[in-house]
Structure 1
Amino acid sequence: MKVWTVVNQKGGVGKTTTSISIAGSLCALGYKVLLVDLDPHASLTHYLGVDADNLTVSLYEVFMQNPSKDFDINNALHTTKVDNLILLPSHIALATLDKSFGNSPGKGLVIKNALSALANDFDFVIIDCPPVLGVLMVNGLVAADKILIPTQTEHLALRGLARMLKTIEQLSSSLKADASVMIIATLFDRRVNACLLAYSNMRSVYKGLIWRGYIPVDTKFRDASYEGVPVNILASQCRGAFAYDKLTNELLKNVV
């Protein structure tokens, strides 16, 4: 089982879209995928049609029960409209964890340890992180085999990218030794000069980390969100689906 964590300390860059779209592409290839929603705003959870506000068991219970042997993480999992795609949903109570956990030892290992119980059940885990550095983001990063950083192709987003890479560097001693990083250019519109300049800058500065393609602006992403499915299921031939399929194939090249 491989864990891919989608993260950026800036909001609005396409983290949730990237998470659900890569998951959809993997499922289309026959892989069994678990989506983990670490964001208290629960955008991914609501995207997939699960009412996070009324859950009795969610990711919050995973944190609060860890490392109790009496808690079965399978009780928190939800099926989705998509074959082979399972959700571990979020809850607003996750926002209290930084305060309640304090300096508790092992607080950054909860997700990594919890996923170990599911290692034989899934081929891939995609973790959608909140845009705030705290116990939730740290859990997502520590569990990752690959760290994916969606970055909007605009000037302000580049500052957020630099900050995110600095955070990863600071946490390097806690990450998996072979964890790799990939930057993904998102919301790209070739008609907009600012997008062209930002994309060119990203490729120049981060040429060793950035994926050689990009995710274009595509209205089908909104339509897919409304329907509660990945874009490749709603419109497999659209530009957005094609881009995420291409990205997923690139990510799979180095998977053992």
Structure 2
Amino acid sequence: MRVWSIANQKGGVGKTTSVVALGGLLAQQGYRVLLVDLDPHGSLTSYFKLDPDRVEHGMYQLFFENRCRNHDYIEQVIRPTSMNNAHLLPASTALATLERQVSGQEGMGLVLSRTLAQVWDDYDFALLDTPPILGVLMVNALAACQRLVIPTQTEHLALKGLERMVHTLQMVMRSQRRELPYLIVPTLFDRRTSASITTLREMRKLYSDCLSPETIPVDTRLRDASQQGVFPHQLDPDSRGVRAYRHLLNLLESEVAKVG
């Protein structure tokens, strides 16, 4: 299984959209895909028309009673999506209380890794949608993944969130004593605005060695897909947004091929 985290310590930058778009395109290629919602806001869960306030069995429950080692329980938690080979591990709003409940307990940073180990042969890819704050859920995502994708809105305030995210990543890599490849992806790009152009230019100056050459444009078809609860390529395979995510996926797959 390949595990990719989609993360940024700022909200509203396109994390959930990126998880869904990339996951859908992978599933279209025939891969078995697991989408994991680690955000207490439950945006990924809501995308597929589940109510995070009503999810009784999801990511939250895996942190207790050693359920993360129970394959049968995990299979019951995983839900279908609009594609047969793409599934969802949903979130509930109860995740917002997790930090306080597990504080000081050992092994809480590896719950997701243990969960994925139970279904390792069932999926080819797992894509993780993370919360915009550093805590036990973000630590779980970074510990479990082999690659990090950092969507960053092309507007000035998003640069501070990007700076925090890169700093967090460097701290985690030092503590885990391993390298975690990452790619910064400019999102919500609007070439008609000077703010987008200026911010993209700044990103290229500061992060040239880890910045995707592909920008994800503002595209209302991505929002339309969300409203219908389907993967973007199912709604409009030739939309600007889907084409951009297809190029991004090709880039990520080519990088995986280089490192084996």
Moved >6 Å (runs of 4+): none
Compute the displacement of 1:2 (Å).
0.6
Partner of 2:25: 25
Cα 1:116–1:198 shift into 2, 3 Å: same
Partner of 2:170: 169
Greater shift in the superposed pair: 142-151 or 43-52: 43-52
State TM-score, norm by structure 2. Answer: 0.95
- Structure 1: distance between partners of 2:69 and 2:126: 22
Cα 1:166–1:246 shift into 2, 3 Å: same
Compute the displacement of 1:252 (Å).
0.7
- Structure 1: distance between partners of 2:132 and 2:146: 19
- Structure 1: distance between partners of 2:46 and 2:68: 28
Partner of 2:59: 59
Deviations 1:53-99, CA, capped at 9 Å, x for gaps: 22221111111133675562111100111121100000011111110
- Structure 1: distance between partners of 2:185 and 2:248: 9
- Structure 2: distance between partners of 1:217 and 1:69: 41
Match of 1:208, SS state, is helix
Q: Does 1:245 align with 2:246?
A: yes
State TM-score, norm by structure 1. Answer: 0.96
Partner of 2:47: 47
Greater shift in the superposed pair: 142-151 or 174-183: 174-183
- Structure 2: distance between partners of 1:199 and 1:231: 24
Q: Confirm or deny: 8 A CA contact 1:143 1:175 kept in the other structure.
A: no
- Structure 1: distance between partners of 2:69 and 2:207: 44
Partner of 2:123: 122
- Structure 2: distance between partners of 1:208 and 1:197: 18
Cα 1:50–1:175 shift into 2, 3 Å: farther
Q: Which blocks of at least 5 consecutive residues in structure 2 are unaligned? A: none
- Structure 2: distance between partners of 1:42 and 1:128: 9
Compute the displacement of 1:196 (Å).
0.3
Between Structure 1 and Structure 2, how many residues are aligned? 256
Structure-to-structure mapping, 1:67-82, within 5 angstroms: 69=69, 72-82=73-83
Match of 1:51, SS state, is coil
Partner of 2:237: 236
Report the AA paired with residue 241 of structure 2: G
- Percent identical pairs in the alignment equals 44
Partner of 1:92: 93
Match of 2:157, SS state, is helix
- Structure 1: distance between partners of 2:65 and 2:199: 44
Q: Confirm or deny: 8 A CA contact 1:145 1:178 kept in the other structure.
A: no
Q: Confirm or deny: 8 A CA contact 2:68 2:111 kept in the other structure.
A: no
- Structure 2: distance between partners of 1:140 and 1:176: 16
- Structure 1: distance between partners of 2:19 and 2:51: 19
Partner of 2:219: 218
- Structure 1: distance between partners of 2:139 and 2:238: 36
- Structure 2: distance between partners of 1:246 and 1:175: 31
Q: Which blocks of at least 5 consecutive residues in structure 1 are unaligned? A: none
Report the AA paired with residue 45 of structure 1: T
